[in-house]
Chain A
Amino acid sequence: MRGWAAVTGVAERKPARWTDGETTLDMLSTIGVAAIADAGLQLDDVDGLLCHPMGGVPMLVPSTIGEALGLHVTYAGSVDLGGATGAGMVWRAAAAIQAGQARAVLCLTAARRQRRTPGQARPRGQSLGRDTSPWAEFEVPFGNVGANVGYAMIANRYLHEHHATPEQLAKIAVHQRDNACRNPDAWFYGQAITVDDVLASPMVADPLHLLEIVMPSAGAAALVVVHPDLAADAGHAAWLLGAGECITHKTITYAPSLTETAIRPAADRAFAQAGVTRQQVGLASLYDCYTITVLVTLEEAGFCERGAGGAFVDEHDLRSDGDFPLNTHGGQLSFSQPGMAGGMSHVTEAVRQVQGRGGERQVGDLDVAFVNGNGGIMSEECALVLGVEP
């Protein structure tokens, strides 16, 4: 996969708590043209489109978006990998380019978030829609709904098998918040927190405190993945060096293991394809719906031994100018989680950093970045290795 394609165009909208009537389709269109411009391309240059399932457009999403934007594409698809969707789009785009089916693939993510009127039921999980999957039959009757309880059960199992302290988990949120304070687009920009703040925040689902949990928001993010011949047009390129993906379950109850995860084979493949070592990684952009997700991913992606995540966090400075820069945009814990654009934020940040466009939080001497996308309850895993050189 190394040398197949580069990410040139990047566009991302600052998350908002709510959208006021704007449709997801309109959000996708405006972020899409911004990414195309950032890639140094014209609308006619784009011949591939990747998007994701979204509310309000029950089917035929790619053609709906393509028509709205005025695209004529020779490759299109919808990627349905939850939080791993953004990462999953990048290697699919590269594979399509390598297969000769496209030369410039626009990858779009967005989420709207409408304010509820008083008295309106709060939607939680997928519980209020008609769902005939096993989830509706064997999870909802027991209240296993939404991500909080799923990740909390992973955390409690992890803490049964291994040792990590609440302070170590909290440090992840604290250092990422420090990173967010160098990112004006982060929702929690300017709001530094301490370990005590995290541990004093309300317990939502034991052992997860409120400040260890992402805040949902509205937003949009887009990338343009291009053929090597087009990589010079933008004046900035992040090369895809390797990718790996693994999906083993939907509901965590049925995962082969709660602590030996699909992250590992995905990351192993990505590093093997890239031909780089973990030690060469200058930025880790790890999906962080919860602090426990980061802790487990540090181990499973191979940055430390299994069970050593807590000690690893203790030993390293996770800030953009630290010795192990992690989620330099603040992570979703501090950037907020605008739906699929939340997972994409780990990709956009890694791309910007590799392109040298990290601004105040630019990681010095960065050659290689690692991205992990994670969907559902650690059910969809997609790893990417990005580099400055092909």
Chain B
Amino acid sequence: MSPVDGPGISNPNLPVDPAVNEGRVPGRAEEEIPELHEVDCPPELRERIEELMGRYPDRRSASIPALWAVQERYGWCTFEGIRQAAAVMRVTPAYLESVASFYDLLHTKPVGAHRIEVCTNISCWMRGGDRLLDAFKEAAGDDGEGFYVTGFECLGACDIAPMASIDQRYYGPLEAAEAGVAIEQLRAGEDVLPEKALAKRGLAGDA
């Protein structure tokens, strides 16, 4: 029995009555939950989400991982994809959409195939993050299908400022001119700026 589904049953000794949290559990309106046969969910996606749900004591915990899976399959969190995930997870599509719209990395609108997030927060800003963002935007041009370029809040890599996350991998410190190189490498399907990959760096104190 999942702790959320059975207040007080799995946790009989709880000092605080879990019922106080009951009103906070969303996505339970049964009549709004689509049936699996209504949504035409690809079997691989369904299996993936079911596997994710199995990892948690409560299936709803899988909502962010499930949305990641939807985004991986369709490129972004499409309306249909969200309905499919909702049908598998037995929650309302509105609930999953509310989750998707909360987080910066889940896209509820179409985005380009390659995602480039340029940090413009304090440490990167001091080292020219704004200029790097402009350079990436210019290099990507109007190729909205190929590239999604955006400024981003601190990515947690101030040691390699100014930096960018390209398809979820970190690169830095970058010069503005390297933006064009990276875009060309992505277009050609090559490794991006291999010398600037975070994974290649040593410890700062060893320098």
Are both chains from one complex?
no
